Amino acid sequence: MPLAASSSFRRYGQRDERRRRLLADDLYDQEDLPGCRVWTEDAPAPRKSENYGDAEFLQQQLRLLDLVPRRSIVLAVLLSAAAAVVVGLEFAYAWMVGRAAAGGTTLTTLDVAAKGSLACWFSSLMLLAAAVAALLIYSVRRHRTDDYQGRYRVWIWAAGGCFLLATDQAAGLREAFREMMISLTGTPLLGNGDPWWVVAYAIIFGALGSRLLMDVRFCPLSVCALSGAAVAHGLAVAQRFGLMVFDGGANKVLYLSGSEMAGNLLLLAAFGSFARHVVLDAEGLLPRRRRNEPEDRRCEENQFRSAGPGRWRKIDPPHVAPKPTYQRPATPATVSLPATAAAPSPVNRKLTKAERKALKKRLLQQRMERERKCG
């Protein structure tokens, strides 16, 4: 073999090896493409911030759905902390009332019945958090595949209702609505006119709550919390109408504010637990619900699963095809002909000439006999 040929062969082999390495590098680069941003040649050059560079850290920031706690213990701790704040505000008001009875001054910040107090602010904060939870539920529930009727839209109304209640806690919308209805109708109901806003709230939030209760029926914790919120607000309304009697005015205020704050906290618990439920359901982390199936089919499936290798199963034989029912039955012959040994059946052929003569002769004899009897 010539020396030039061997050197060229070696050179081509080295070139092929280099090409294989470059091809492998390209393949590794393509595997890393999903984790980085790529710009085409026609796209404009990416802009870099003067202070933050290319801002790659934005891809690792938390999403809004990451605020929903996945673990039940985290949700329980957050709700327990909120309940502790409610109890602390109640004790602070009781301490302030005892201090005022001893000749001290009162603090509007600790007065749970005054607008602008800590209790009013915290109730409004809980309702705003419930509105945010309703929006998060809506953002997930609208992607459910079996919701053909669009029942997920009720969560938009739920967010609006929570925002309305939060505004009412901060600005006193119910009192403004009461005064407006009294001035328009000139009729203060039950003395102070509270039934005006109570009836309006009962109609709006009663219809909304029933729809929400149907939507959260697969989450028992949300069902219990939502029902408890309705009961707590109902007790507060009953206390406003004087259906529950207390010894002192301080106890009445404590009961009223405690019922309202407990209802708001239970509403937040219902929405928070259902937000966790829908997020886990969307991620496939919830156990599948067992569908209602016929008993026979369930027994057959259990029998099929119990039959392991080496066991015999009974298999039904193939069904016999039913006989056709559209065949016309053969009609019996009404005329008796002289039977012959080799005569074919008179049903499927025409009469011969001799048979027609014999039949005609027999009919003539029968007619003559009838005439003779009649004569």
Looking at residue 272, its amino acid is G
Question: Which one, of 158, 94, 91, 89, lies nearest residue 119 by Cα?
Answer: 89
d(CA 299, CA 139): 40
Domain boundaries, the chain: 3-61, 70-282
Residue 49's φ and ψ, nearest 5 degrees, are: -75, 150
Q: What is the pTM of this model?
A: 0.67
- Using the Cα atoms of residue 49, residue 53, residue 58 and residue 61 in order, give the sign of their dihedral: negative
- SS3 (DSSP) at 233: helix
Give the pLDDT of residue 367.
87
d(CA 126, CA 364): 114
d(CA 101, CA 91): 15
Give the pLDDT of residue 337.
47
Give the pLDDT of residue 40.
58
Question: Which one, of 149, 112, 155, lies nearest residue 133 by Cα?
Answer: 155
Give the pLDDT of residue 260.
96
pLDDT tens, the chain, 375 aa long = 454 444 444 455 556 666 666 566 655 554 444 455 555 556 566 677 778 777 777 888 888 899 999 999 999 999 999 999 999 999 999 999 988 888 888 888 999 988 889 999 999 999 999 999 999 999 999 999 989 889 999 999 999 999 999 999 999 999 999 999 999 988 888 778 889 999 999 999 999 999 999 999 999 999 999 999 999 999 999 998 888 877 677 888 999 999 999 999 999 999 999 999 999 999 999 988 776 655 555 555 555 454 445 556 666 666 666 665 555 555 555 544 444 444 445 455 678 888 888 988 999 899 888 888 886
d(CA 220, CA 226): 10
Provide the phi-psi class of 137: left if phi over 0, else alpha when psi is between -120 and 50, else beta: alpha
